[in-house]
Structure 1
Amino acid sequence: MEPDGAGDGWVRPAGKRRRRRRKKGAREGSPELGSVELQRRRLQEARSELQSSEFWDSSLGTILNSLRKHLLAGRTDPEPTVEKALGALENLCLTAPAETVLEPTTQPPQKPNGGVGGLECVCYGVGNFSSCVKARYQLAFLLLLLQHLEIPENRCFVFDPVFATLEIEVLRDLGLTVLLENEEGKRPVRDPTVFYMIHCGKALYNNLLWSNWSAEALSKTAIIGNSFKGIEERVLTKIFQQDYCYIAKVLTATHEDAFPSHRQYLDVFNDTSVHCFPLHKLRDLPREVWEFHEEPVYRDEDQVEIVRKKQ
C-alpha cells in the first residue's frame, strides 16, 4: 500500500531556525514525531476505535465462523495441530476480549505450536503504517485478531518491502517477527496458518497458492485478503486463467465470506474476504488440476503488482 504522506526524505530548511521549538509543557526526552512510542500510541488509538465498533464484532464473527466451519471439513482422522486448532476455536467466544494496552514486548510468552489454537499468522503488505492512516488501521486490526485467536506475537511473521527502519523497530517492539527476506508470497505452510494480506497484488495470492499446491496444505490455509471472486470479475478471462491460474483453478473449491460493509472503514477493508479451502472440496477437484504445478511466470512485469525480490 502506498503511503499517504510525503516522500522518503526530509530536507532541513536553511537559515537560522534549525532547532524545533518545544511545545508548551513538553519535557526533555518526550517523543518526537517519528518515535516508536508515538507510533505505538497511534496504533493503540486505532485499535481502541476498531474494538469498540460494530465492524470489528461483525468481521471477527465472519473470521471465526469460517475457520471453525472449514478447518476440519471432510477430515476423518485429523492431524494433531489441526485438531488442536479447531478445539481452541470452538472455545472462543464471539465477543472481543477486554482491551489491553500495547506494552513493549521484549520476550513474548511462549505457547507450544504457535498458541492455544495451534495457529500461525503471516502478514504481507500492510504498508507504511507510520504515515498512512489506512495501513495503521489494518495493522491495528491484525493486532486485535492475534489477541483474540491467542496467537503469540512472535508467531506472527510480517513483511512488506516498503517498511521504513522506524516501522521495523515498532513491529519488533510489539513482539512481531519481521521477515528480512522477500518471499514473494511463496511460503509453504506446516501448521494451520492465517495469511493476512489486505489489498495485496494478485500475483502474491497466486504465488501463495502455488507454494501450497496440495489438498492437505491448502486445507490448513486461510487467506484474509482481496476477494477471489472479485479478481475473477475484474480480470479478463484469458489473463486470469494464464497469469493467475492457481487462483482460477482453486476457485470452485474455495469458501469465501466477505467482510461486512461499514461506511467508516469502507476504503480500509473494501473488497476483503476470508478464504478457506475445505478438504472435501479440494479432493473433488480433477486430478489434472493437481498435476500441473509449474512456478508462476508473469509476462507483463510492469503489471505484477508486487515488489520482486532482489537477485
Structure 2
Amino acid sequence: MAAAAGGWNLAGGQRRQRRRGRAGEEAEGGAVLRRLQEARDDLLSSGFWAASAGAVRTPLAGCAEPPAQCVCYGLGRFSGCPAARHQLAFLLLLLEELRVPPEHCALFDPAFTAQEAAALEHLGLRLLPENEEGKHGIEGSATLFYMVHCGKALYNNLLWRNWSAEALSKMVIIGNSFRGIEERLLSRVLERDYSYIAKVLKGTEEVALPAHPRYLDTFNDTSVHWFPLQKLKGLSPEVWNFVEEPTYQDCEDLEIIRKEDRAEQHSLAATAS
C-alpha cells in the first residue's frame, strides 16, 4: 500500500507509536459521537424533544423570516458531561427542525478540548475563532442563539451588539429565562449591570421549555425568547438612545470568561513552563 503524504517515512518504532496514538484518538472520538447519538435517541424517546419543538415553533410562526444561521455559546465539556451532551443533541435536533445546515452553525466555549473540537467539525459544525464575549452581530441575517445556562453578561452583550429594533426582531434566543433573571435580581442591580436585558424586557416574548423529570438540571430555567418588531417599536425612544458598551466595572459576580482572562491564563502557563 502506498505511503500517504509522507507519513510512512518515520522509523518503525515511531511509526507504530504514531499509529497507536491516532487509533486511540479515533476510538475516543468515536465514543463521543456514539454517546451523542445515545443522547439524541434519549431526547426523542422521552418525548421531551417533541414537546420542546412546539415551544420553538411558536416564535417562528410570527417571524418574517426563519433563522438562516445559528450561534451557540457555553455548551461545556460534552465529552464527559451528560447534561452538555444532551444540550448538544438538542441543538442538532433544532438545526434539523429549522433546516439550518450544520455549516451555518458556529460554536464557542473556551472549555472545548481538541477532541471535542474535532467531534464538532466531524458533525459539520463550525468553531468561532475567538472569544466574542457574546458580542456577535447578526449582520442582517435572521439568527438563532443557543445559550443554555450562560452567564447574564453574555445575553447583555449580545443585546448590546444588536441594539436596534430591526436587528433584535430577527433574533431568537434559547437560554436562561429573562423573566427569571428579572425576578432573581434587585431592579437596581439589573438596571446597573445588565441594562440591555432590563430595557428589552417589555419588548420580549418568552415561552419556557417544558419541564421533564429526566432533564431538570439540563434544561431548567430555559426559555425561547423572541422580539416582535411591533413590541420593540412601542418602546420609548429613550430606550434606543443609550448604546454604550457594557463594562461591568461594579458587577460583583461576573459570569463570563473575557478575552483578556484567557490571554492571561495562556501567558501564565507559558511563563510556568
Same fold (TM over 0.5): yes
Does the 8 Å CA contact 1:31/1:38 hold for their aligned counterparts? Answer: no
| Match for residue 243 of structure 2 among 293, 297, 310 | 293
1:223 and 1:297, CA in 2 relative to 1: closer, same or farther beyond 3 A? same
| Match for residue 165 of structure 2 among 215, 237, 252 | 215
Separation in structure 1 between the aligned mates of residue 44 and residue 100 of structure 2, nearest angstrom: 18
Amino acid of the structure 1 residue aligned with 2:237: R
- Superposition pairs of residues 143-292 of structure 1, within 5 angstroms: 143-189=92-138, 190-292=140-242
| Match for residue 55 of structure 1 among 40, 48, 56 | 48
Q: How many residues align?
A: 241
Matched residue of 1:274: which SS?
Answer: strand
Matched residue of 2:172: which SS?
Answer: strand
Separation in structure 2 between the aligned mates of residue 154 and residue 32 of structure 1, nearest angstrom: 24
Separation in structure 2 between the aligned mates of residue 291 and residue 37 of structure 1, nearest angstrom: 51
- Once the 2 structures are TM-superposed, how far is the Cα of residue 298 of structure 1 from its aligned partner? 0.4
1:301 and 1:245, CA in 2 relative to 1: closer, same or farther beyond 3 A? closer
Q: What do residues 260-306 of structure 1 show as CA deviations (whole Å, max 9, x unaligned)?
A: 01111111000000000000000011101000000001024661101
Does the 8 Å CA contact 1:120/1:192 hold for their aligned counterparts? Answer: yes
Tell me the equivalent position of 2:33: 40
1:217 and 1:29, CA in 2 relative to 1: closer, same or farther beyond 3 A? closer
Matched residue of 1:222: which SS?
Answer: strand
- Superposition pairs of residues 27-176 of structure 1, within 5 angstroms: 35-69=28-62, 71-72=63-64, 82=65, 85=66, 119-176=68-125
Separation in structure 1 between the aligned mates of residue 222 and residue 103 of structure 2, nearest angstrom: 25
Amino acid of the structure 1 residue aligned with 2:189: I
Does the 8 Å CA contact 2:193/2:251 hold for their aligned counterparts? Answer: no
Alpha-carbon RMSD across the aligned residues, in angstroms, is 1.9
- Once the 2 structures are TM-superposed, how far is the Cα of residue 148 of structure 1 from its aligned partner? 1.5
- Once the 2 structures are TM-superposed, how far is the Cα of residue 132 of structure 1 from its aligned partner? 0.8
Runs of 4+ more than 3 Å apart: 28-34
Separation in structure 1 between the aligned mates of residue 22 and residue 56 of structure 2, nearest angstrom: 42
Matched residue of 2:120: which SS?
Answer: helix
User: What TM-score, normalized by structure 1, do the two folds share?
Assistant: 0.74
1:236 and 1:272, CA in 2 relative to 1: closer, same or farther beyond 3 A? same
Separation in structure 1 between the aligned mates of residue 197 and residue 32 of structure 2, nearest angstrom: 36
Tell me the equivalent position of 2:11: none
Matched residue of 1:52: which SS?
Answer: helix
Does the 8 Å CA contact 2:193/2:250 hold for their aligned counterparts? Answer: no
- Once the 2 structures are TM-superposed, how far is the Cα of residue 235 of structure 1 from its aligned partner? 1.0
Does the 8 Å CA contact 2:106/2:127 hold for their aligned counterparts? Answer: yes
Matched residue of 1:213: which SS?
Answer: coil
Separation in structure 2 between the aligned mates of residue 34 and residue 186 of structure 1, nearest angstrom: 36
Separation in structure 2 between the aligned mates of residue 201 and residue 47 of structure 1, nearest angstrom: 25
Amino acid of the structure 1 residue aligned with 2:194: Y
- Once the 2 structures are TM-superposed, how far is the Cα of residue 53 of structure 1 from its aligned partner? 2.1
- Once the 2 structures are TM-superposed, how far is the Cα of residue 54 of structure 1 from its aligned partner? 1.7
Separation in structure 2 between the aligned mates of residue 231 and residue 299 of structure 1, nearest angstrom: 20
Separation in structure 2 between the aligned mates of residue 195 and residue 174 of structure 1, nearest angstrom: 18
* Higher helix residue share: 2
Amino acid of the structure 2 residue aligned with 1:127: G
